[in-house]
Amino acid sequence: MSLFKTITDKPWERKGIIGGLKPEGAFDAPSEKIALSVFLVVASVVFSLFTVGYFVRMELPDWQPLSEPAQLWFNTGLLIISSVLFQWARNIANSANDKHLTAVFIGGGIFAILFIAGQLVTWDSLQDAGFYMTSNPANAFYYLMTGLHAAHLLGGLWVWSKSSIRLLAGREKSDVKLSIELCTLYWHFLLVVWLVLFAILSNT
């Protein structure tokens, strides 16, 4: 039911049960997925506002662009692999068999951990080269935005670790199916956020 149709309804005219068991206007998806989707919009607002701040601050005269290290390409590759593995795990979870499910799902998380480790190495190399947080606003934004992105990944890894323990404990696929689906959605979101951030950081 479209939003327009919903809000043009005349409730004083219609009596009786509308919508049967499912209340009219409810989404055909589990509540957890709806909540995650709303949260992703909230997280998008956070990243968008940092980006707006970045562009506004960039216009001021003391801004010195930071040339991002080439290692970020490698890190990006790790995050893409992580996302692909989560998608693979989701496909397995939705299929009839569950071959390799545990390995693929855990692998997805491990590549995300490698991505965070890669980001830390990049931070370290920038520090060694004298690009400190306080020396220029471009550096400060770099550390802040990459740090915030990594913090979101850490939050996802907490859920991933709980689901991994359940998988390793031999729980039924149905018990972790929703978790896998939500992790996959979250990882794809964070990949897109990273690609946008990377594009902005690299091109400014």
Residues that bind another protein (CB under 8 A): 6-12, 15-31, 33-35, 38-39, 41-42, 45-46, 49-50, 53, 56-57, 60-63, 133-134, 137, 140, 144, 148, 177-178, 181
Q: For another protein, which is the closer residue by CB, 81 or 148? A: 148
- What would the two tokens of residue 31 be? 């509540």
Q: For another protein, which is the closer residue by CB, 88 or 177? A: 177
Smallest gap from Cβ 163 to another protein, in A, equals: 14
The contacts of residue 91 (CB under 8 Å, 6+ apart) are none
What is the spatial distance between Cα 204 and Cα 199, in angstroms, rounded to a whole number? Answer: 9
Q: For another protein, which is the closer residue by CB, 46 or 154? A: 46
What is the spatial distance between Cα 46 and Cα 63, in angstroms, rounded to a whole number? Answer: 22
Smallest gap from Cβ 147 to another protein, in A, equals: 10
Query: Contact 96/143 with Cβ under 8 angstroms?
Result: no
Q: For another protein, which is the closer residue by CB, 40 or 113? A: 40
Smallest gap from Cβ 77 to another protein, in A, equals: 29
Smallest gap from Cβ 106 to another protein, in A, equals: 21
- What would the two tokens of residue 154 be? 């850490």
Smallest gap from Cβ 89 to another protein, in A, equals: 14
Smallest gap from Cβ 2 to another protein, in A, equals: 12
The contacts of residue 148 (CB under 8 Å, 6+ apart) are 46, 47, 50
Q: For another protein, which is the closer residue by CB, 81 or 178? A: 178
What is the spatial distance between Cα 202 and Cα 165, in angstroms, rounded to a whole number? Answer: 38
Query: Contact 89/105 with Cβ under 8 angstroms?
Result: yes
The contacts of residue 35 (CB under 8 Å, 6+ apart) are none
Q: For another protein, which is the closer residue by CB, 45 or 168? A: 45
What is the spatial distance between Cα 88 and Cα 1, in angstroms, rounded to a whole number? Answer: 32
Query: Contact 181/90 with Cβ under 8 angstroms?
Result: yes
